[in-house]
Structure 1
């Protein structure tokens, strides 16, 4: 699907506030309500829009620590990548699983209530997984840039 400037403007407007009505979107990009609605429906149908997301504040929900883990899978007794992804993805504290190229095989985003809680998750859940070789942890100090439009 080819995106024109109006499509891009709609995507920018939706990325700022996905709860806008077709009427509000139309006013923002210079379209009528029906034309804006049709374009948004076309963006959904094409896959350019996929899913709706609610951003929660982990700290306000009691999760004060975010840690990025680099995980290198062990060479011996190698577990399949699909099995590792399925198992690690079932751990509630693991917010994101990214298969990466480089020093580590995976990058995980893990949230915990505090450092003691993170240590428990690391020792009892992540290090105990089959196939885990080495792990490097980086504690997030602050997050300056939040995800935005492409």
Structure 2
């Protein structure tokens, strides 16, 4: 199935194959990518440039094993706010942005307002983060925390795996 990017160009199976390779290792040489997807180096470069220019490729990064740098645990926190006006939502979002341990935060539908993924060193570190940072944010009515016991699957896109 082909998809159309912001510039009206079609993302085809070659583009998705290139993206899969870059998702696995963004340092893969163009020659290897071309060989793997059956295209010339120039054609691969042009496709990567088009996907970058369109915003489909937003950047290149490294994958970090959080446990290797001291963050042994992941906590999922669900939060309900007292108010849902734009000012409260914006203030809450800004406060979360200032907490480095917050990896992801989603405004969600359902019983809670936010779903937050947090990296911590251990349970004491999480207790400190709750007391010193999260619970200092005005407007939190209720929260529910769950420690991740094991990650069964982790992907940034449906193209991996």
CA offsets 1:53-110 (integer angstroms, 9 cap, x no match):
3211111111111100001001399952111101111011111111111111111111
Which 4+ runs in 1 deviate beyond 6 A? none
Equivalences for residues 107-118 of structure 1 within 5 A: 107-118=115-126
5+ long unaligned stretches in structure 1 = none
Equivalences for residues 12-51 of structure 1 within 5 A: 12-51=20-59
TM-score for both structures, normalised by structure 2? 0.86
Equivalences for residues 120-135 of structure 1 within 5 A: 120-135=128-143
Look up the SS of the partner of 1:80 in the other structure. helix
Structure 2: distance between partners of 1:77 and 1:54: 37
Identify the range of structure 1 (67-76 vs 38-47) with the bigger mean alpha-carbon deviation.
67-76
Look up the SS of the partner of 2:137 in the other structure. coil
What's 2:145 paired with? Answer: 137
5+ long unaligned stretches in structure 2 = none
What's 1:92 paired with? Answer: 100
Structure 2: distance between partners of 1:43 and 1:59: 33
Structure 1: distance between partners of 2:139 and 2:101: 19
Identify the range of structure 1 (38-47 vs 75-84) with the bigger mean alpha-carbon deviation.
75-84
RMSD: 1.8
Question: Displacement, 1:149?
Answer: 3.9
What's 1:58 paired with? Answer: 66
Equivalences for residues 1-16 of structure 1 within 5 A: 1=5, 2-16=10-24
